[in-house]
C-alpha cells in the first residue's frame, strides 16, 4: 500500500524556495524509508510571502498538504513550541527557525563548486548558528565570477550531506519535530 505525503513550505524568498524545498523533500524521504508503508514524497508546494500574509498562505497550503513548514522568528530566539496545528484541516505546522546559515554547514558540498572560498566556513557544522550575517558569509563563499548566488541554491539543496546538516542544532531540532509529526500522522 502506498501513501502520498505532500509537504507545504511558506518561504521568505528564493533561498528558502530552492534550497529548503529540496532539503525538506530529501529529509522526508530519509525519515520515511523505514515506514511500514511505501510513502510517496511529492514535491513541496511552496508559497513565497512575508509574515503579514502567512495565515492566508497557511490556509491555502493546508487544503492540499499533509505537513506545513514555515519560518518562525520565535524559534530563532530559542523559544520553540514544537509542532502546532493550523486550521480546521489539523495540518501540523513545523517552524524551521533561522535556516539561512544551513547553506554553510557542509564544506564538502562547497568543495564541489569550483572557485568557492572555503576559508570562512566554520570548522564544525554546529558553528554556523554563531554566524551573525549568514548572507555575507554566503556571498563571500560563492565563486567570485560566474553565476549569481541564487543559481547555487538548488544544487546545495540536492547535494548537501544531511548527516552533516544534522549536526546543526536547529536542523536537528527541526528533524525531531518533523519525525514526531510524521508519527502523529501515522507515517512512522
Which H or E run includes 4?
Answer: strand 2-5
Give yes or no: residues 89 and 116 share one domain. Answer: no
CB contact at 8 A, 90 and 62:
no
Number of domains in the chain: 2
Give yes or no: residues 34 and 94 share one domain. Answer: yes
- Residue 155 belongs to some domain of the structure: no
- CA 172 to chain CA centroid, Å, is 11
Q: How far apart are CA 16 and CA 70, in angstroms?
A: 10
- CA 64 to chain CA centroid, Å, is 19
Where is average pLDDT lowest: 45-54, 81-90, 117-126?
81-90
- Mean pLDDT rounded to a whole number for the chain: 87
- Residue 154 belongs to some domain of the structure: no
Residue 90's pLDDT is what? Answer: 66
Please say whether the dihedral angle defined by the alpha carbons of residues 35, 83, 98 and 47, taken in this order, is positive or negative. Answer: positive
Q: Answer whether residue 158 shows pLDDT above 80.
A: yes
Domain ranges, residue 31? 2-98+164-184
Give yes or no: residues 106 and 14 share one domain. Answer: no
Q: How far apart are CA 14 and CA 151, in angstroms?
A: 10
Give yes or no: residues 15 and 51 share one domain. Answer: yes
Long-range contacts of the stretch 21-30 (C-beta < 8 A, 24+)? 21/46, 21/157, 22/154, 22/157, 22/158, 23/102, 23/157, 23/160, 23/162, 23/165, 24/69, 26/157, 26/158, 26/162, 27/162, 27/175, 27/178, 28/67, 28/178, 28/182, 30/162
For the whole prediction, is pTM greater than 0.85? yes
Tens of pLDDT along 24-60? 999 999 999 989 889 999 999 999 998 889 889 998 9
Give yes or no: residues 172 and 94 share one domain. Answer: yes
Amino acid at each position: 500500500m502506498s501513501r502520498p505525503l505532500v509537504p507545504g513550505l511558506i518561504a521568505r524568498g528564493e533561498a528558502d524556495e530552492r534550497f529548503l524545498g529540496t532539503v525538506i523533500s530529501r529529509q522526508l524521504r530519509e525519515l520515511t524509508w523505514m515506514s511500514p508503508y511505501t510513502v510517496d514524497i511529492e514535491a513541496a508546494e511552496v508559497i513565497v510571502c512575508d509574515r503579514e500574509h502567512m495565515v492566508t498562505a497557511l490556509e491555502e497550503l493546508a487544503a492540499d498538504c499533509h505537513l506545513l513548514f514555515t519560518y518562525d522568528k520565535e524559534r530563532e530566539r530559542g523559544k520553540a513550541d514544537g509542532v502546532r496545528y493550523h486550521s480546521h484541516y489539523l495540518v501540523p505546522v513545523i517552524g524551521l527557525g533561522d535556516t539561512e546559515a544551513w547553506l554553510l554547514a557542509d564544506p564538502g558540498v562547497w568543495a564541489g563548486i569550483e572557485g568557492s572560498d572555503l576559508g570562512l566556513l566554520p570548522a564544525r557544522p554546529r558553528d554556523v548558528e554563531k554566524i551573525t550575517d549568514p548572507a555575507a558569509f554566503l556571498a563571500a563563499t560563492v565563486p567570485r565570477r560566474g553565476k549569481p548566488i541564487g543559481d547555487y541554491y538548488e544544487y546545495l539543496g540536492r547535494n548537501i550531506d544531511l548527516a552533516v546538516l544534522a549536526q546543526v542544532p536547529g536542523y536537528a531540532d527541526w528533524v525531531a519535530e518533523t519525525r514526531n509529526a510524521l508519527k502523529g500522522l501515522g507515517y512512522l
